[in-house]
A and B are shown apart, each in its own frame.
Chain A
């Protein structure tokens, strides 16, 4: 069996996140109204890294939240994912919420996240930042900020591994066999 294909190295991830941070600042003309919300699990450390880029670039701290979408998924009847805690640090009404996730695939996670956010207020707008957009959308959803666009086949799996959770930074593309 061949080695899984490496889509991004640690340095690629770092560069992509830095660029995404710049793009968010540019698009929103600063960070005054911005709230970062990472989608559990790997969106959370990614959002923290973007927040530290904000501090380096603009010398500004933005509120940082974590969103769990288990209770809003549309596949509960197939698989009840164990829910984790959601932590939204402030009232998001009137704010620009930047949702952060590792991989944008079908769009169903984002649909659930948009739904879950609703319970915490009515943001002025919601923007989406992802490390990898791998295509194959099943819902009319797109990302505003993308670390890397990666054409994949439907059977492949994109595995984002992060220092904070997995002990190293890399993005792999696994084939159906490699997924086990």
Chain B
């Protein structure tokens, strides 16, 4: 990989995405071995810097780094000096001074990772930045793991009918997926209530609708998004119950998709809101495959960023 940072999928080409997915396939094989450890990143130090809560993304990055033999350290806001007011810049430089060569950052502000990347090489330390979710901007490794999951189940991504449903306004997962899926040639439909479906998406080559049944009709892939209550500072919905009734995926609604359609959710799930129990745990759900693929994709990303350039 000829890049230093992974800040979003907006500037990653289809060719590069395919390379990362191919590498991730090889990494998935490593994860299926009896001894899940390879020495590729021996001596490299990866620091996860999470300014927001996370279960799967952080655990996934740490497992990815450890499987490749990198050393990991993790900082969380509540237990670090960030709670004393230390800035992102000083936190980064402090950890870099201890030898961290790669930062995996999650931050509530959109653009935080770009800012972090701008500090590399400026203060005597050289480091890589991987965006693990910045505000409502991007979550590129989630986008990549979703692409890997779709490719694994459907083969070619180009031409597939993919429907993304829910809180598109606040979703960084949606933004990374929109970039990734369009680059790979998917036929994309976005669906959500008017308040959560920003009209700017209409500038892209995709369809938008407020009618969930219509959006799901004939889909190969149904991707639901989490209702991001923590980012809703205003009144976006009359009630969660109404959202669940109009946009929640249940068995009846899923029948409108193709019979072999897969159902995805980036997690964490609000069970009974975006997705009902029976379909979340049902045969079409690939939610846990997404989680496994997450480790493989993050291994591929770390391997690509931290390795030397190909000659």
Where the two chains meet, the residues of A that have a C-beta atom closer than 8 Å to any C-beta of B are 68, 70-73, 75-87, 115-116, 118-120
Chain B residues 1-52 with CB under 8 Å of chain A are 1, 19, 22-23, 25-27, 29-30, 33-35, 37-41
Secondary structure at the A interface, as helix, strand, loop or mixed, is loop
A75 near B308: Cβ-Cβ < 8 Å: yes
Hey, which chain A residues are within 8 Å of B304, CB to CB?
Answer: 80
Shortest CB-to-CB span from B128 to chain A, Å, is 13
Cβ of B307 within 8 Å of any chain A Cβ, yes or no, is yes
B308 near A71: Cβ-Cβ < 8 Å: no
10 nearest CB pairs, A to B? A80-B307, A71-B38, A83-B26, A78-B308, A71-B40, A119-B35, A85-B29, A79-B308, A85-B26, A77-B308
Hey, which chain B residues are within 8 Å of A84, CB to CB?
Answer: 26
Secondary structure at the B interface, as helix, strand, loop or mixed, is loop
A119 near B38: Cβ-Cβ < 8 Å: yes
Hey, which chain A residues are within 8 Å of B41, CB to CB?
Answer: 76
Given contact pairs A76-B40, A83-B303, A120-B34, A68 touches B308 in the complex (Cβ within 8 A): no
B26 near A76: Cβ-Cβ < 8 Å: no
Hey, which chain B residues are within 8 Å of A116, CB to CB?
Answer: 38
Cβ of B229 within 8 Å of any chain A Cβ, yes or no, is no
Chain B residue nearest in CB terms to A80: B307
Hey, which chain A residues are within 8 Å of B309, CB to CB?
Answer: 79-80
Shortest CB-to-CB span from A145 to chain B, Å, is 28
Give which listed residue, A71, A82, A118, contacts B19 with CB less than 8 A.
A82
Hey, which chain A residues are within 8 Å of B239, CB to CB?
Answer: none
A72 near B39: Cβ-Cβ < 8 Å: yes
Shortest CB-to-CB span from A6 to chain B, Å, is 27
Give which listed residue, B27, B33, B35, B310, contacts A80 with CB less than 8 A.
B310
B22 near A71: Cβ-Cβ < 8 Å: no
Cβ of B121 within 8 Å of any chain A Cβ, yes or no, is no
Chain A residue nearest in CB terms to B39: A72
5 inter-chain pairs at a CB distance below 8 angstroms, sorted by A residue, are A70-B40, A71-B303, A83-B23, A83-B303, A115-B39
Shortest CB-to-CB span from B238 to chain A, Å, is 50
Cβ of B68 within 8 Å of any chain A Cβ, yes or no, is yes
Shortest CB-to-CB span from A32 to chain B, Å, is 24
Given contact pairs A85-B26, A119-B33, A80 touches B39 in the complex (Cβ within 8 A): no
Cβ of B311 within 8 Å of any chain A Cβ, yes or no, is yes
Shortest CB-to-CB span from A172 to chain B, Å, is 21
Shortest CB-to-CB span from B4 to chain A, Å, is 13
Cα–Cα, bound, A151→B243 (Å):
75
A79 near B311: Cβ-Cβ < 8 Å: yes
Chain A residue nearest in CB terms to B305: A80
Hey, which chain A residues are within 8 Å of B30, CB to CB?
Answer: 71, 86
B308 near A83: Cβ-Cβ < 8 Å: no
Chain B residue nearest in CB terms to A91: B34
Shortest CB-to-CB span from A87 to chain B, Å, is 8
Chain B residue nearest in CB terms to A86: B29
B38 near A68: Cβ-Cβ < 8 Å: no
